[in-house]
Amino acid sequence: MEKVRILIVEDCKITAKIIKSALISLGYEVVDSVATGEDAIASCFHQEPDLILMDIEIEGPMNGIETADKIRSFFDVPIIYLTALSDGITLSRAKTAGGFAYLIKPFRKMDLHANIEMTTYAHRMKKKAKENEVKYRNIFDNMFDGFIYCKIVFDETNKPVDYILLEVNDAFEKLIGIKKENILGKTINEILQLEQYNHLLKDIEIFNEAVYGEKVHIKEYFLDYVGKWFSITVSKLQDGYLSILITDITERKTSEEKLKFLTFHDALTGLYNRTYFQEELKRYDVPRQLPLSVIIGDINGLKLANDVFGHNEGDKLLIRIAEKLKQSCRVEDLIARWGGDEFVILLPKTNEEEAKTICQRITNFCKQETDCLVKTSIALGYSTKVQESQDIQRLLKEAEDKMYKNKLISSKRAHELIISSLKESLIEKTHETKEHIEEIKENLLLVGSFMSLSLKLLSELALLAEFHDIGKIAIPKEILNKTTALTEKEREIIKQHPVTGYRIASSSRNLMPIAEAILLHHEWWDGSGYPLGVKREEIPITARLLAIVEAYYVMLHGRIYKKPLKPEEALQEIRDYAGRQFDPALVNVFIEVIQKKNKSH
């Protein structure tokens, strides 16, 4: 048998050389090795190879798949794709271009040999099928698609009336979900009587219009019982036979729909995007839509959600806001995401009072929200066009100006409400009582007053008592309330709460003065604490005092995993850790104050 003559299309010289060496060692003849699609086509003219090894990503304006398409137009030569890519899109493109096989680099010599042998054998069989029987030619031509081979049933006037199914391929079984034994030998009309198949080939009468030797594309349709899109193409053959090609085009249809959706929609919220809004604005800005109102909104707390809890929580906030807007508006209203944290609503045939009512409805829906880390809150502004002469862009500007004015008035209040909500959620999450906070606050202020600290520091101590653990809001409840020993990973999560608390406090004008104390309230006097490992006077005095007072409270009241101590036992443990965990000078002051307090009670 003559050697198989192979053309290599590979733009990496080293890879091409390795492939060539492997082919020669396997007993094949390498007729040429080129790096571009143009050279590959030229080489096909001059060398007439038996097989092409085609890299998908090659030099020049044409990639391997496009080159294969050109080659198929002029030559009957099989192609094996060589690529480092194995994703579904690449495979789909390779299938569309009609490759015989598909090898992922790097590949073994034995795999290359097996694919060449199988491909050349298949190609020989294909040629033989063309010479001997049209049936096999169609099966090989359409090996990636579902294929049905039929015999036409004629009536006494030689008019085609039905089609007997003689053969279907494996791809047809997989595409449609119909077993061969259920349909072979039956006519199409008989199959259509079966309920599960009655959507298949329902346009049978169109087959009669097909012309011998030509392929006629009938339709694209969605087969709901398998949830896929298909394309049907029919070829009428000589001697009363018919071939039907069924191609799964679900991926293409899905991509088209997705592309169409993303062109006009915001991918995160599903609302219309700014591009679509600008186009639709022209359609809405007509006399029959008057009065035309517009609402512009800006989310409160998005930066806090992103900075403290991560962009995933920020995305959730955006999605929830989008849902509130949809709940508050009518079907005919157009809602779009205007920018990062801004939304816009067009309200046709809506006067100013109605627009105001919709704004109030949005606000009320936001207030009703529970069971989320950052509650939805949005600053809104609206404006109404009542005369055709009014400029729509000016209308948008008026609504935006009102929104910013409302945001200046309400954003501070909204932000503090978010912080307050986080604190309430934390108390509920950790089951810590308000009495706990008050007791820590009382002892902090007692010690601070005894030391004659400034009113500013006393005020910070009072705030610190309430908000020092605010960062725990980001810790999963199952870790916070765990009754068994924490794992190393869980301890690392716990140690992040001062950093989270610092971010929250830094975002609030009211809490900013205690942000550093929140960050450092778990640092130790000797520098062995967390999260930064600072020591001694590098730790704010407010954080050093809180560390002692909170430790004393925990010792007195215990934890799930630790029994409570008596006051003197707790004070002794505080003494034991002076100079290590606690500031020794503050320990002495604290003990003196607490002992006096205990005696007075």
- What pLDDT, on the 0 to 100 scale, is given for residue 516? 94
At 291, the pLDDT band (50, 70, 90 cuts) reads very high
- Beta strands 51-55 and 79-83: pairing type? parallel
- Give the chain's domain count: 4
In a domain, 258, yes or no: no
Query: In sequence order, what are the residues at sequence separation of 6 or more whose Cβ sits closer than 8 angstroms to the Cβ of residue 451?
Result: 589
Least confident among 174-188, 202-216, 320-334, 392-406: 202-216
Q: Are residues 337 and 485 in the same domain?
A: no
Q: Are residues 395 and 460 in the same domain?
A: no
* 217 within 8 A of 233, measured Cβ to Cβ: yes
* Per-residue CA distances from 222 to 169, 200, 219, 247, 262 (Å): 21, 10, 10, 12, 22
Q: What is the pLDDT of residues 404-461, one digit of tens each?
A: 988 877 766 766 777 777 777 777 766 666 778 888 999 999 999 999 999 999 999 9
Q: Are residues 388 and 497 in the same domain?
A: no
In a domain, 586, yes or no: yes
The residue with tokens 């509920």 is 428
In a domain, 204, yes or no: yes
Q: What is the pLDDT of residues 149-162, one digit of tens each?
A: 888 888 888 777 77
User: Among 422, 321, 419, 431, which Cα is nearest to 378's?
Assistant: 321
Beta bridge partners of 342: 298
Q: Is 366 helix (H, G, I), strand (E, B) or coil?
A: helix
- DSSP state letters, 257-307: HHHHHHHHB-TTT-SB-HHHHHHHHHHHSSGGG-SEEEEEEEESSHHHIII
* Per-residue CA distances from 224 to 173, 197, 250 (Å): 16, 11, 12
Question: Distance (Å, rounded) from C-alpha 263 to C-alpha 272?
Answer: 9
Angle at 142 between CA 210 and CA 259, to 5 degrees: 90
Q: Are residues 581 and 485 in the same domain?
A: yes
Q: Are residues 222 and 271 in the same domain?
A: no
- What pLDDT, on the 0 to 100 scale, is given for residue 288? 92
- DSSP state letters, 16-30: HHHHHHHHHHTT-EE
Q: Are residues 167 and 96 in the same domain?
A: no
Question: Distance (Å, rounded) from C-alpha 504 to C-alpha 507?
Answer: 5
Q: Are residues 75 and 210 in the same domain?
A: no
More confident residue, 563 or 356: 356
Q: What is the pLDDT of residues 29-57, one digit of tens each?
A: 999 999 999 999 999 999 999 999 989 88
Domain of 50, CATH number, reads: 3.40.50.2300
Out of 109, 132, 155, pick the residue that ends a domain.
132
Q: Are residues 238 and 305 in the same domain?
A: no
In a domain, 533, yes or no: yes
Q: Are residues 230 and 279 in the same domain?
A: no
The residue with tokens 């009582």 is 433
At 212, the pLDDT band (50, 70, 90 cuts) reads very low
In a domain, 260, yes or no: no
Q: Are residues 411 and 523 in the same domain?
A: no
In a domain, 444, yes or no: yes
Domain of 376, CATH number, reads: 3.30.70.270
Domain of 158, CATH number, reads: 3.30.450.20
Q: Are residues 125 and 160 in the same domain?
A: no
Question: Distance (Å, rounded) from C-alpha 246 to C-alpha 224?
Answer: 15
Q: Are residues 10 and 128 in the same domain?
A: yes
Cα dihedral 136, 141, 145, 148, rounded to 10, equals: -30
Out of 210, 228, 252, pick the residue that ends a domain.
252
For residue 282, give its domain range. 266-423
In a domain, 222, yes or no: yes
- What pLDDT, on the 0 to 100 scale, is given for residue 259? 82
At 310, the pLDDT band (50, 70, 90 cuts) reads confident
Out of 132, 167, 184, pick the residue that ends a domain.
132
In a domain, 261, yes or no: no
Cα dihedral 543, 499, 424, 302, rounded to 10, equals: 140
Show the DSSP H helices in 451-566 as ranges. 455-467, 477-480, 488-494, 497-506, 515-520, 541-557
Residue 22 backbone phi and psi in degrees, to 5 = -65, -40
